[in-house]
Amino acid sequence: MKIALLGYGKMGKTIEKIALERGHSIVLKVDKEDTNYDISVADVAIDFSIPSAAVNNITTCINAGVPVVSGTTGWLDQYNDILQLCKEKKGSFIYASNFSLGVNLFFELNKKLAQMISPIKEYDVSMEEIHHTQKLDAPSGTAITLAEGVIEHSAKTAWKLDEGDINTIPITAVREADVPGTHSIAYTSEVDTIEIKHTAHNRHGFALGAVVASEWLHGKTGVFSMKDVLGL
Ligand SMILES: NC(=O)C1=CN([C@@H]2O[C@H](COP(=O)(O)OP(=O)(O)OC[C@H]3O[C@@H](n4cnc5c(N)ncnc54)[C@H](O)[C@@H]3O)[C@@H](O)[C@H]2O)C=CC1
Ligand SMILES: O=C(O)C1=N[C@H](C(=O)O)C[C@H](O)C1
């Protein structure tokens, strides 16, 4: 496939390497200075840019009829607008807060654990995410998806950065040099803590998942998720 990379930072560069290894070609690399480009040269576009640029990048692809995979986090207040546009234009789109196979399995484990523990009132839930210091958004998109998974299967109704109460899940966001992404969920009672944790050792899993998603999306129409791609 001919792939366009929207965002050529840490993820764009890792995706390029994996895409080439899998026999694809990179026909376009768009970064912050590049405003005038022809996206229609690509079979599929992969957007890993910045929160303030993602909606514009995705819109450009959908308007041009180019399937688009986005992993950029921090723009989801406009997700419904993108869904609407994609429906109107009969476009192809996948967003995932995390493209790695391991985290997508972890999402399912998180929901199962929430379902098991929520009737047991002795335990209260909290979350922590740790990322590198260049990260622009907090909490991470992955932490938000994890919180939504708990909300779906418990009496909690919302999440909040650093604060929690009987109805709200507290999420702590820690920034440390060079951490690719660590997420943990803890259920604490007076007597013990049950904790599950996912630690990314590098960005390879995220990037491979994004390339696999773009291969899967090519030739399909609609809005999809990593659950569709992985058959979970
Ligand atoms: N869904 C997932 O699996 C993952 C998501 N991410 C997310 O992907 C995004 C990018 O992450 P990184 O590559 O680590 O960040 P990065 O900061 O290394 O790269 C972002 C790049 O986007 C460029 N950019 C700025 N404005 C742009 C525009 N208008 N159009 C295109 N590019 C533009 C920047 O100059 C930079 O090179 C972040 O939102 C991050 O949270 C990161 C890893 C995994
Ligand atoms: O910014 C990052 O680096 C990451 N962002 C994603 C997120 O916000 O969840 C995924 C991964 O944790 C790395």
Q: How would you classify the pairing of strands 182-188 and 193-199?
A: antiparallel
What value does the mean pLDDT take over residues 57-74?
Answer: 98
pLDDT tens per residue across span 169-224: 999 999 999 999 999 999 999 999 999 999 999 999 999 999 999 999 999 999 99
Do 59 and 84 fall into the same domain?
yes
Q: Which domain holds residue 112?
A: 101-199
Shared domain for 105 and 90, answered yes or no, is no
Clarify whether residues 145 and 185 are in a common domain.
Answer: yes
Give the Cα separation of 227 and 194 in Å (integer): 26
Look over the chain and give the mean of its residue pLDDT values, rounded to a whole number. 97
- 190 and 109 assigned to the same domain: yes
Q: Which amino acid is at 13?
A: K
The predicted structure's pLDDT at residue 70:
98
Q: Does 162 belong to an annotated binding site? A: no
Please determine, for residue 35, whether its predicted confidence score (pLDDT) is greater than 90. Answer: no
Tell whether 94 and 209 lie within a shared domain.
yes
How far, in Å, CA of 121 to CA of 135, rounded? 35
Q: Are residues 209 and 131 in the same domain?
A: no
Interface ipTM: 0.99
Q: Which of 10, 32, 50 to mutate to test the pocket of ligand 1 (most atoms within 8 A of CB)?
A: 50
Give the per-residue pLDDT at 164.
82
The string of pLDDT tens digits covering residues 15-34 is: 999 999 999 999 999 999 88
Distance CA 129, CA 80 (A): 26
User: How far, in Å, CA of 207 to CA of 192, rounded?
Assistant: 37
- Residue 82's pLDDT band (boundaries 50, 70, 90)? very high
102: tokens are 């391991």
Residue nearest to atom 10 of ligand 2 (CA): 98
Same domain assignment for residues 112 and 180: yes
Q: How far apart (Å, rounded) are the C-alpha atoms in residues 92 and 99?
A: 17
Q: How far is the CA of 17 from the centre of ligand 1 (A)?
A: 16
The total of structural domains in the chain comes to 2
Cα 38 to averaged position of ligand 2 atoms, centre (Å): 28
For residue 55, count other CB atoms closer than 10 A to its CB: 20
Same domain, yes or no: 92 and 120:
no
Tell me, what CATH number does 114's domain have?
3.30.360.10
The mean pLDDT value for 68-83 works out to: 98
Instruction: Note whether 59 and 115 are same-domain residues.
Output: no
Strand stretches in 37-136, DSSP E = 44-47, 68-70, 92-95, 124-131
Residues in contact with ligand 2 (CB, 6 Å cut-off): 73, 97-98, 131, 135, 140-142, 181
Spatial separation of the C-alpha atoms in residues 67 and 91, rounded to whole Å: 7
* Same domain, residue pair 139 and 209: no
* Residues 122, 149 share a domain: yes
Q: Per-residue confidence at 100, pLDDT binned at 50, 70, 90? A: very high
Report pLDDT digits (tens) over 117-154: 999 999 999 999 999 999 999 999 999 999 999 999 99
| Of residues 102, 110, 126, 106, the one with CA closest to residue 200 | 102
Distances (CA, A) of 7 to 10, 100, 112, 120: 9, 19, 35, 45
Report the CATH number that the domain containing residue 58 is assigned in CATH. 3.40.50.720
| Distance, first Cα to last Cα, the chain | 25
Q: Confirm whether residue 92 is marked as ligand binding.
A: no
Judged against a pLDDT cut of 90, whether residue 39 lies above it is answered with yes
Whether pTM exceeds 0.90 = yes
Question: What whole-number distance in Å separates Cα of residue 165 and Cα of residue 151?
Answer: 13
Q: How far apart are CA 208 and CA 132, in angstroms?
A: 20
pLDDT over 70, % of the chain: 100
Task: Say if residue 67 is in the same domain as residue 112.
Answer: no
Cα of 185 from ligand 1 centre, angstroms: 25
